[in-house]
Amino acid sequence: MLFKKSIRTILLGFALWVCLLSGVGQSPIMAATLDVAAGSASQEQIQAVPEEVLNLKSGVDRFLISIPLGYYTIGNVAGLKDQLKNPQTILVDVREPSEYRAGHIPDAINIPLRTLTHSLDKIPHDHSVVLYCSTGYRSAMGVMTLHLLNYENVRGFPPSFAAWKAAGEAIAQ
């Protein structure tokens, strides 16, 4: 049951990511799903849409509705510095290793976004976790991923490494 829930959660996250990435354009399956939800689909379209897709849309809707104001973020350098005063906070740089080696926020661990789900053993469930990247995009995807995997205390730092650097804060090599 837990395995099935995890697969469902990963698929939900992936679908949400695809929806956010694609923006205006829709795949035929997503368009048919939206037609079904709006009540304008024909009987043939309804039969052509797999039950998993309908459940996925419902799951995505529940996830989006659950997002609180602030979107799990720390909005400025001062806020991040305040959070880092807590020794239980894990700071995760989700950039690629070459970016991390070129300079990173002190005490950050490097877990590239593409390997995040393979490195969950480095991210304790019972600690505060803050993710950052170069521009905020990858960290937002990482925050969403960890929330979908039942991490409760995860936030992103969308001002990103660029804001940290621009503020003249210490940079580790």
In this predicted structure, the answer to whether residue 168 has a pLDDT above a threshold of 60 is yes
Helix (H, G, I), strand (E, B) or coil at 55: helix
Residue type, 87: P
**In sequence order, what are the residues at sequence separation of 6 or more whose Cβ sits closer than 8 angstroms to the Cβ of residue 29?**
49, 53
* pLDDT tens digits, one per residue of 34-86: 444 444 445 555 456 566 666 777 777 776 676 666 667 898 999 999 999 99
Any residues with CB less than 8 A from the CB of 148 and at least 6 apart, and which? 9, 10, 12, 13, 63
**Structure pTM?**
0.65
pLDDT digits (tens, 9 = 90+) for 79-128: 999 999 999 999 999 999 999 999 999 999 999 999 999 999 999 999 99
Q: Residue 120 has what pLDDT? A: 96
Q: Is the pLDDT reported for residue 32 higher than 80?
A: no
Give me the pLDDT at residue 27, please: 41
What residue has token string 């509705």?
Answer: 65
Spell out the domains of the chain, with CATH numbers in brackets. 2-66 (no CATH), 77-166 (3.40.250.10)
